[in-house]
């Protein structure tokens, strides 16, 4: 069903052996030996020469990391700053947003993003979507033209289901209307093409790019970055510090940034398009194998171009209990997504299965068998 191709083999060989089956890349992928070595090497260098001297010495690696992120997001290296993750990136952007605070996003927007929008005083309105939660660009054109928000926020691939949004089409529409587009690429980067010309792109290291935890990035096109209002230090203080640079003027885990830079480099070396194609094939294979297993129903259309399979439980089954059973009894790791992840779209918790390029048909069959057992074992009588 899934051939063990060269990419699968090299990706697997570059990492420690899995204890069990890892089906949780949408939460946190497995790092490579090289990434882990770079991270620990940086910590060692800090101990040898001092943390700030080591940070200076890491400048070329970090510059390469920024350039690699820029290549994947159609930005320039100078547009990219490191953050501690996606949520942090969105908060930095919205807390410095100039002018009116209105935005449009899909009703299935990520719950924690909605919280960041609310905390920054944004008035949020829904974009028109179809039954799968996908933005209908033609309908959006009318809505956005008649009442343009200050920005459109699009989560390219959601956390609670694996459908791909029309990121390129919506970005083109918004460009024509003069509305800035902000792309949440936390799940999208690695799975779908994010080099679509969005004004802002942000993402996380640990998901599909398989970098360390606790690091991410924010990329803002220069003309928009110039209009952001610096918050720290306050804009009216006469300090010669650009807004984007001010985002990095906080304490940071430089070792994690070094590891992330290496991971993005590895991703580019593997071939971003090759990885995307492989992940799409894996998603299709997993969905056709798993749909109907022990009464679980697949949410995505078979041919969504992502590796995520979302499963709706049969009546009386709790995804969280099944997830725990799978970890405890089979060392199989998945995610149970609660309604809070997409409070205006999810109607009940779901189980998310997200293998990376190294998954085998045997792994998926093993999971399907374990899912039957877990469902029987955790059914509420
Ligand atoms: C994980 C995730 C985030 C948050 O990323 P962090 O790095 O944990 O802050 C935002 N959006 C989506 C779609 C995600 O999956």
Q: Is the torsion defined by CA of 216, 220, 226, 229 positive or negative? A: negative
Question: Which of 188, 204, 214, 343, when mutated, tests ligand 1's pocket best, judged by the most ligand atoms within 8 Å of its CB?
Answer: 204
Same domain, 242 and 97: yes
CA–centroid distance, 309 to ligand 1, in Å, is: 18
Find the domain containing 188 and state its range. Answer: 33-270
331 pLDDT more than 80: yes
Closest atom of ligand 1 relative to the 89 alpha carbon: 9
CA–centroid distance, 344 to ligand 1, in Å, is: 17
Closest Cα to atom 1 of ligand 1:
186
**Per-residue tokens: 376:** 């029987």
CA–centroid distance, 44 to ligand 1, in Å, is: 30
pLDDT tens digits, one per residue of 162-189: 999 999 999 999 999 999 999 999 999 9
Using 50, 70 and 90 to split pLDDT, how confident is the model at 380? low
Q: Which of 250, 270, 290 is the last residue of a domain?
A: 270
Q: Which of 214, 235, 270 is the last residue of a domain?
A: 270
CA distance 44 to 36: 12
pTM of the model: 0.98
Counting the structural domains of the chain, the total is: 2
Q: What's the CATH code of the domain at 40?
A: 3.40.640.10
CA distance 266 to 262: 6
Same domain, 231 and 315: no
Q: How far apart are the first and last CA of the chain?
A: 36
Q: Which of 224, 244, 270 is the last residue of a domain?
A: 270
Question: Which of 83, 119, 182, 186, when mutated, tests ligand 1's pocket best, judged by the most ligand atoms within 8 Å of its CB?
Answer: 186
Q: How many CB atoms lie within 10 A of CB 169?
A: 15
pLDDT tens digits, one per residue of 333-363: 999 999 999 999 999 999 999 999 999 999 9
Supply the DSSP string of 125-174, one letter for each residue.
Answer: EEPPB-TTS-B-HHHHHHHHHHS--SEEEEESB-SSS-PBP-HHHHHHHH
3-state SS assignment for residue 202 = strand
For residue 187 and ligand 1, the question of a CB distance below 6 A is answered with yes
CA–centroid distance, 340 to ligand 1, in Å, is: 13
For residue 159 and ligand 1, the question of a CB distance below 6 A is answered with yes
Same domain, 89 and 201: yes
Same domain, 247 and 332: no
Reference 341, options 120, 155, 93; nearest CA is: 155
Inside any domain, residue 148: yes
Same domain, 330 and 245: no
Inside any domain, residue 255: yes
**Per-residue tokens: 207:** 């998901």
Q: What's the CATH code of the domain at 287?
A: 3.90.1150.10
Place of tokens 């009442």: 147
Same domain, 164 and 194: yes
Same domain, 370 and 301: yes
pLDDT tens digits, one per residue of 124-135: 999 999 999 999
What is the phi/psi pair of residue 96, to 5°? -115, 10
| Pairs from 284-292 (Cβ < 8 Å, separation ≥ 24) | 285/1, 285/2, 285/361, 285/364, 286/353, 286/355, 286/359, 286/364, 289/1, 289/364, 289/365, 289/368, 290/353, 290/364, 290/367, 290/368, 290/371
pLDDT tens digits, one per residue of 34-82: 999 999 999 999 999 999 999 999 999 999 999 999 999 999 999 999 9
Using 50, 70 and 90 to split pLDDT, how confident is the model at 308? very high
């Amino acid at each position: 069903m899934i051939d063990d191709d060269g990419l699968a083999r090299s990706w697997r060989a570059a990492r420690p052996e899995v204890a069990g089956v890892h089906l949780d890349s949408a939460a946190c992928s497995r790092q490579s030996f090289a990434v882990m070595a770079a991270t620990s090497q940086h910590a060692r260098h800090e101990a040898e020469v001092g943390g700030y001297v080591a940070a200076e010495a890491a400048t070329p690696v970090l510059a390469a990391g920024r350039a690699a992120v820029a290549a994947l997001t159609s930005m320039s290296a100078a547009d990219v700053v490191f953050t501690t993750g996606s949520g942090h990136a969105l908060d930095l952007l919205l807390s410095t947003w100039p002018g009116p605070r209105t935005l449009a996003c899909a009703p299935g927007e990520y719950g924690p993003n909605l919280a960041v929008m609310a905390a920054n005083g944004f008035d949020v309105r829904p974009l028109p979507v179809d039954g799968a939660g996908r933005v209908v660009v033609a309908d959006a054109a009318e809505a956005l033209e008649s009442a343009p928000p200050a920005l459109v926020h699009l989560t390219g691939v959601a956390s609670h289901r694996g459908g791909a949004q029309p990121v390129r089409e919506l970005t083109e529409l918004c460009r024509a209307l003069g509305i800035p587009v902000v792309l949440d690429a936390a799940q999208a980067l690695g799975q779908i093409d994010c080099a679509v010309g969005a004004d802002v792109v942000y993402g996380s290291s640990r998901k599909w790019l398989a970098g360390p935890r606790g690091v991410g990035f924010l990329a803002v096109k220069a003309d928009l970055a110039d209009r952001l209002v610096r918050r720290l230090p306050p804009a009216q203080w006469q300090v010669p510090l650009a807004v984007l640079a001010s985002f990095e003027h906080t304490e940071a885990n430089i070792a994690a940034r070094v590891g992330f830079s290496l991971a993005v480099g590895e991703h580019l070396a593997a071939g971003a398009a090759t990885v995307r194609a492989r992940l799409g094939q894996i998603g299709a294979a997993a969905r056709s194998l798993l749909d109907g297993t022990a009464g679980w129903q697949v949410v995505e259309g078979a041919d969504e171009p992502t590796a995520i399979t979302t499963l709706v439980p049969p009546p009386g089954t709790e995804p969280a209990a099944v997830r725990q059973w799978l970890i405890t009894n089979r060392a199989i790791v998945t995610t149970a997504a609660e309604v809070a992840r997409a409070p205006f779209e999810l109607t009940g918790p779901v189980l998310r299965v997200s293998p990376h390029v190294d998954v085998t048909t045997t792994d998926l069959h093993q999971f399907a068998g374990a899912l039957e057992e877990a469902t029987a074992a955790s059914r509420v009588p």
